[in-house]
Amino acid sequence: MIQRDNLTRQLYAQDASMYQEFPEGVSFPKSGEDIRRLVKKANEDKFTITARSAGTSLAGQTTGGGVIMDVSRYMNQILTLDGEQHIAHVQPGVIRDTLNREAAKHQLLFGPDTATTNRCMIGGMIGNNSSGSYSIKYKTTREHTLEIEAVLSDGSTAIFKPLTSEELEEKKKLENLEGHIYRSMLRLIERNRELIQNSYPHPEIIRRNTGYALDKLCEMQPFDPNGRKFNLCELLCGSEGTLAMTVSARLNLSTLDQHKLVVVPQFETLEEAMRAAVEIVNFDPAAVELVDHIILNATKGNIEQRKNRFFLEGEPNYILITQFEGNDPEELQKKAEQVSAKLSEKSLGYAYPIIPEEDKMKRVWELRRAGLGLLMGLGSDGRSPSFCEDTAVRVQDLPEYVKEFRTILDKHNTKCVFYAHASVGELHLRPQIDITTETGLNTMKTMADEIADLVKKYNGSLSGEHGDGRVRAPYIEKILGREMLPVLRQVKEIWDPEYIFNPGKIVKPKPIDQDLRFSPSYQKPEPETVLSWRKEGDFGSAMELCNGAGVCRKLAESGGTMCPSYQATKDEKDSTRGRANVFRQVFAGENPAGYESEELKEALDLCLSCKACKSECPANVDMAKMKTEFMNGWHQKNGSTLKERFFADAAKVFPLASITPKIANKVAGSAIGKKVLEGVFGIDSRRDLPKFANQTFRGWFKKHRRNGAVKSDEKVVLFVDVFTNYNDPEIGKSAVSVLEHMGYEVLIPKAMETGRPQLSKGFLDEAKSICGEVLEEFTEYVEAGIPVVGLEPSEILTVRDEFLELCSDEQLPLAEKLAGQSHLFEEFVARNKSRLSPKAQNQTVTLHGHCHAKALVGNDPTVEALSAVGFTVDVLETGCCGMAGSFGYEKDHYDVSQEIGGLVLFPTLQKQKDPLVCAPGFSCRHQIKDGVNIKSYHPAELIHRSLS
């Protein structure tokens, strides 16, 4: 029932906050009954429980020293969704976006919209009373939670919902913990009502989550005869799992507006932007989001987010992403124009682009949502601990509040990220402080005090949505006053007298600087490496990049590729975040296990090295690169196996097999052959190995050179990899034909490998040697300025990526030039498409992009090249196919490989009738063949067949 192994404890020692605390163990309940049994056991064995779903909390709510209860793996079902009543009944592990995809079928949505909606879960949203970008329209989770089924601290169950006066009287009569809660809470409010109303933040502040929501209970019957029905759900929302464990919830769904439109005013100064926000809210927007220059600059260094900067005019320091929603598009356009006119009239801002296109609006919001992860991934020079993350004041107070906040920043000689929810007076404020130094840590503690005083001055809330947790709980006294602390403790003890549920959060907190992930006592890892780690600075810095934002926990249905194994298993150890956390833990400290860590090897086992994290992770964590360095170190300590060497040695084995290809194919395809391959090399017998061609590409090309190959002053080097040469020579032939059609003389180098298989398996010394050999051979091409074109994406992109880390400092200038001259085949064709003369045709091709290409280049060049020869291209929104080089061939990985393929790729292709499929990757084509029995083609083959 409780997993207590070291790896699991390491995985759950941190969330997205600045804290790290190793739990006793982790539980994965499958039902309310499982939760009830866990709570009973906690009472018997005297351990505590901290509830957790996605673990994206910023205040340390989901870290704890007892048992972590993770509801995300199993309790993730939408139990019912009533489109007529606008009600959804869900388990706590349901992802917000998953709920909204189902709700959209009924033209409904769950309104609260955090930046983490593709992985945050309803249980966490209830715990934190989450809201998000649209809180000016939809308010908070509290306003949409109708009913909560919960397990109480004694293991009993209760359902909390709005109660009539008669129902409330019946609850008070119950002779159990539930009855005690109702009786005691009513008495508590009655005795302290005036104190509560005088102590809590201004009621105009929509997002006020400081302490327990006692001020909301004061608004209800019987305390206000005209108020809402008494409903303890409103107290549980924002209670951070300290009062009860959520089993399920009934949620109110809102009607989905048919139209929306975005206008993005752009500013030179923060003062302008804040004054503009005050003006904009008068036009009834659905959202007004501030993004500052620190985040905008960070988008330049992120492959994925660079594409989303299209709407920026010049280099604004601040922007306000403003969305209007409704059912009349003309009215929305009118509002946007009125906003632009008003701001221009008041000389607020210099540009006001209006964006009505749905796909472009989506890209604007993707840039906004990436903000947190981007700024948390700025490295040690940009450390910004989340200690004053989301203070909230009234909107009209925002300009003066920000002015005074900046005075505090100046006083401490630091700068700050300003972004988020300007529409409701809440900004995410992230001062840059390096708390790994004593000076930085003391600065953070001093500023936390001063900022709490400033919030109190404006009668604001210390937490607008992310909760008090550990980081803000020590300052509740400053905001609500000393007299309120005993009242808050009474609330906790009414519900949970033994402090079983999430202790140390909201009440009785530890000091802000205890259990920090990074602190003056932190020892940065400094392991020996083969790769240079030039971009990150060193391997230790790469291990510190992950910030816990958990973008890698999104599911396949949300789009993107990261993290394919997590999408299949939903196990934290298979996420980039989980692996990164284990990396840091096993390499840091006085006695690190480092390259000998069994736990890290296990966590990396299902990493497909797809590179999606390199572009999709906002902190730019490159787990494929980290894995290859670790596996190299592991081999140095422990040696390697025949299974690990088999695919890495393909260039040595394939020439022998190609001498008698028919015999090799027959043996490999026979039952006995498959059994031997499985037993000796670990190749799953359910797989068919790629067949060897009767004639290699190189054998064909020698004859082609003698029999009429194009000679030209314009030359191109065609890099033909091992697999194309021995298994798929037709692709090489097609590529030669296309390039010669374009007027180029094709040169074939001796090299057939760039070290991709060696990198995948962690043989870095061999990969480094191959890199050196390729650089030496290609020097003449580089000096002559001859472009190098590759057919297998993973091979040619190794030249553009890993070569820059494998080469020596002396080789780096040459490697950089070669990288600049290297192209995917389809990239080169797209750039020179004017040389093509295609036949007229009208055919649709379905494109499944290669993971490395999507991460480093994108699908656009392939689309452009295929379109140039007349194809209509349907780009599949697929992630990794699941094969990933040798991964899917291995017996230990076959099932997961098929599960990954079955997430999106297989079912999408199965729905199509006789699709013409393009898959640039060798492994992808074989996975598609094995998974759905459809032949797919390399772009070179399709382009070749289309030329006249």
Q: Is pLDDT at 683 greater than 60 in this prediction?
A: yes
User: What pLDDT score does 386 carry?
Assistant: 87
pLDDT value, residue 643: 86
Output the pTM of the full model: 0.92
CA-nearest of 411, 378, 198 to 296 is 378
Q: Parallel, antiparallel, or unpaired: how do β-strands 108-109 and 49-52 relate?
A: unpaired
CA dihedral 576, 578, 582, 588 (to 10 degrees): 70
| Residue 127 contacts residue 58 (beta carbons within 8 Å) | no
Share of the chain above pLDDT 90, in %: 87
* Whether the predicted pLDDT of 68 surpasses 90: yes
Mean pLDDT to the nearest integer, 424-444: 92
Q: What is the mean pLDDT of the chain?
A: 94
899 CB-side CA count, 13 A: 13
Query: Does residue 446 have a pLDDT over 90?
Result: yes
Taking the C-alpha atoms of residue 433 and residue 30, their distance in angstroms, rounded to an integer, is 41
Q: Length of the chain in residues, anyone?
A: 948
Closest CA to 349 of 271, 242, 260: 271
User: Mind listing the pLDDT tens digit for each residue in 244-299?
Assistant: 999 999 999 999 999 999 999 999 999 999 999 999 999 999 999 999 998 898 88
Residue 26 main-chain phi, psi, to 5 deg: -135, 135
CA dihedral 120, 125, 131, 137 (to 10 degrees): 100
Provide CB contacts within 8 A for 707, sequence distance 6+.
none
pLDDT at 107: 96
Whether 435 has a pLDDT exceeding 70, the answer reads yes
CB 758 within 8 A of CB 767: yes
For 527-566, write each residue's pLDDT tens digit.
Answer: 999 999 999 999 999 999 998 989 999 999 998 899 999 9
Q: What is the pLDDT of residue 377?
A: 53
Confidence check: pLDDT of 383 > 80: no
pLDDT tens column, 806-816 = 999 999 999 99
Buried b (16+ CB within 10 A) or exposed e, 400-437: ebbeebbebbeeeebbbbbbbbbbbbbbbbbbbbbbbe
- How much is the pLDDT for 780? 97
Report CA-CA distances (Å) from 752 to 698, 788, 826, 851: 10, 13, 19, 21
Are the C-beta atoms of 495 and 176 separated by less than 8 Å? no
Q: Write out the H or E segment, with its range, that includes residue 138.
A: helix 135-138
Please give the pLDDT value at position 842: 84
25 bridge partner residues: 67
Q: Could you tell me how far CA 339 lies from the centroid of its own chain? A: 33
d(C-alpha 650, C-alpha 648), whole Å: 6
| pLDDT band (50, 70, 90) for residue 382 | low
- In this model, does residue 380 exceed pLDDT 80? no
**Which one, of 889, 887, 925, lies nearest residue 905 by Cα?**
925
Closest residue by Cα to residue 294 from 331, 260, 319, 325: 319
pLDDT in tens, 916-940: 999 999 999 999 999 999 999 999 9
376 falls in which pLDDT band (50, 70, 90)?
low
How confident is the model at residue 657, as a pLDDT? 87
Q: In the predicted model, what is the mean pLDDT of residues 217-239?
A: 97
Instruction: Please tell me which residue, 331 or 652, carries the higher pLDDT value.
Output: 331
Q: How far apart are CA 533 and CA 530, in angstroms?
A: 9
Within a 10 A sphere around the Cβ of 593, how many other Cβ atoms?
14
**What pLDDT, on a 0 to 100 scale, did the predictor assign at position 27?**
98
Token pair belonging to 916: 């013409």
pLDDT at residue 371 is higher than 80: no
Average pLDDT over residues 91-117: 95
Chain centre distance of CA 766: 33
Rg of the chain over CA atoms, in angstroms?
30
244 φ, ψ to 5°? -160, 160
Place of tokens 């051979």: 777
437 contact partners, CB below 8 Å, separation of at least 6? 520
Across 723-734, average pLDDT: 97
Q: CA-to-CA distance for 37 and 402, rounded, in angstroms?
A: 48
Q: Give the pLDDT of residue 948.
A: 66
pLDDT value, residue 94: 98
Query: What sign does the CA torsion over 335, 337, 340, 345 have?
Result: negative
pLDDT at 374: 66
Q: What is the model's pLDDT at position 505?
A: 96
What share of the chain in percent tops pLDDT 70?
99
pLDDT band at 652 (very low <50, low <70, confident <90, very high): confident
User: How far apart are the C-alpha atoms of 838 and 813, rounded to whole Å?
Assistant: 39
Work out the pLDDT band at 373, boundaries 50, 70, 90: low
Average pLDDT over residues 504-521: 95
Cβ atoms of 621 and 611 closer than 8 Å: no
Residue 84, classified by CB atoms within 10 Å of its CB into exposed (0-12), middle (13-18) or buried (19+), is exposed
**pLDDT in the model for residue 257:** 94
> What is the distance between the alpha carbons of residues 10 and 529, in angstroms, rounded to a whole number?
24
- Tell me how far apart the alpha carbons of residues 340 and 342 are, in angstroms, rounded to a whole number: 6
Check if the beta carbon of residue 326 is closer than 8 Å to that of residue 137: no
Q: For the residues 646-651, what does the mean pLDDT come to?
A: 85
According to the model, what pLDDT value does residue 436 have?
93
What domains lie within the chain, and their CATH numbers?
Answer: 2-70 (3.30.43.10), 78-255 (3.30.465.10), 539-639 (no CATH), 648-831 (no CATH), 837-946 (3.40.50)
Q: How far is CA 139 from CA 81, 254, 321, 348, 459, in A?
A: 21, 12, 18, 27, 19
User: What is residue 170's predicted lDDT score, i.e. its pLDDT?
Assistant: 97
Helix H segments across 516-638?
539-543, 564-569, 576-587, 598-604, 612-616, 623-638
Report, as an integer, the average pLDDT of 667-684. Answer: 94
Rounded CA-CA distance 479/491 in Å is 18
Residue with tokens 């592990």: 93
Question: What does the pLDDT average to over 137-157?
Answer: 97
Query: What does the alpha-carbon distance between residue 878 and residue 876 come to, in Å, rounded to a whole number?
Result: 5
**pLDDT over threshold 80, residue 379:** no
Cα–Cα distances in Å, from 505 out to 62, 470, 492, 518, 545? 9, 5, 10, 20, 27
Residue 174 has pLDDT above 60, yes or no: yes
What is the H or E stretch that residue 33 is in? helix 32-45
Contact, 148 vs 159, CB < 8 A? yes
Q: In this model, does residue 372 exceed pLDDT 80?
A: no
Q: Closest by alpha carbon to 11, among 569, 683, 510?
A: 569
> Is pLDDT of 827 > 80?
yes
Q: What is the pLDDT of residue 356?
A: 95
- The predicted model gives 73-88 an average pLDDT of 97
What is the phi/psi pair of residue 109, to 5°?
A: -155, 155
Bond before 222 cis per omega within 30 degrees: yes
